[in-house]
Amino acid sequence: MRLTLEIWRQKDAQDAGRFARYDLPEVSEHMSFLEMLDVLNQELIGKGEEPVAFDSDCREGICGMCGFVVNGYPHGPQPLTTVCQLHMRHFHDGETLRLEPFRAKAFPVIKDLAIDRSALDRIVMAGGYVSINAGGPRDANSILVGKKESDLSMDAASCIGCGACVAACPNASASLFTGGKISHLGLLPQGEPERKTRALNMVTRHSDEGFGGCTVIGACAEACPKGLKLDFIARMNKDYLAGTVTFREEAAGGGG
């Protein structure tokens, strides 16, 4: 099939950027979206032109590296799908596709469709871990975890950190990402001792990185390729509030 691509081209974060138009006359419906871009880049290289920069790694929907906006949708219009798992059979002959990077202050453009997502890494570094001394390895069944909590923790842990939630949110908030990272540890016994400080540190880092606040619009959950629910934002807010109260009480006690 024949496609027309309007792709955002930007040399670096300082460049103003622009859309460039490309025609692909022979696109197989069996190609993935990134394979289609590979074909375009081969043609551009053959012409001596600069190829389109985009992020990818596993191309299996599990690493979170790929991700850009296709016709206004982060990762494209197919629900619960990363752009690397999006196939051309979901588009039509003669269609025009508009490709641009995830837009957010905290996601500076590196080049073209590639962005810097390291702000998400720094949120995790602020508290997305268990640092208590848990001793030596223990048998997996020695710490009992309820099925409900286990299932919710696994759901939260499925977040791949792609940033689609940020791109979909009008406020450019990473609350769904942060809520997922806080919840998947806080729901387990191993993460309970640091639950409040984890929420305080990670939410504070979220704000420091320049992400917007959550106003519960829900676009993040709609765009999430792993189906994370808004419930994780509520859990994050609950833990953050509890941590704030505890911190104030301890500060007041210490001052007395």
- Average pLDDT across each block of 10 residues of the chain; the chain has 256 residues. List them in order: 97 96 96 97 97 96 96 97 97 97 97 98 95 72 88 97 98 98 94 94 98 97 97 97 90 68
Q: What is the pLDDT of residue 249?
A: 84
Q: Name residue 94's amino acid.
A: G
Please give the domain boundaries of the chain with CATH numbers for all domains: 3-111 (3.10.20.30), 118-255 (1.10.1060.10)
Phi, psi of 73 (to 5 degrees): -110, 125
Q: Residue 134: its pLDDT value, please?
A: 62
Handedness of CA 83, 89, 90, 92 (dihedral sign): positive
| Residue 207 in tokens | 């704000």
pLDDT of residue 256: 45
| Residue 81: half-sphere exposure toward Cβ, Cα within 13 Å | 17
pLDDT for 190: 87
Per-residue burial over 225-250, b if 16 or more Cβ lie within 10 Å, else e, is: bbebbbebbebbbebbeebeeeeeee
CB 191 within 8 A of CB 149: no
d(CA 42, CA 7): 16
* Distance between first and last Cα of the chain: 75
The burial of 51, by beta-carbon neighbours within 10 Å (0-12 exposed, 13-18 middle, 19 or more buried), is given as middle
Closest by CA to 57, choosing from 117, 136, 131, is 117
> What is the pLDDT, as a whole number, of residue 131?
86
Q: How many CB atoms lie within 10 A of CB 101?
A: 25
Q: What is the pTM of this model?
A: 0.93
Distance CA 4, CA 110 (A): 24
d(C-alpha 177, C-alpha 181), whole Å? 6
Give the count of alpha carbons within 13 A of 159, CB side only. Answer: 32
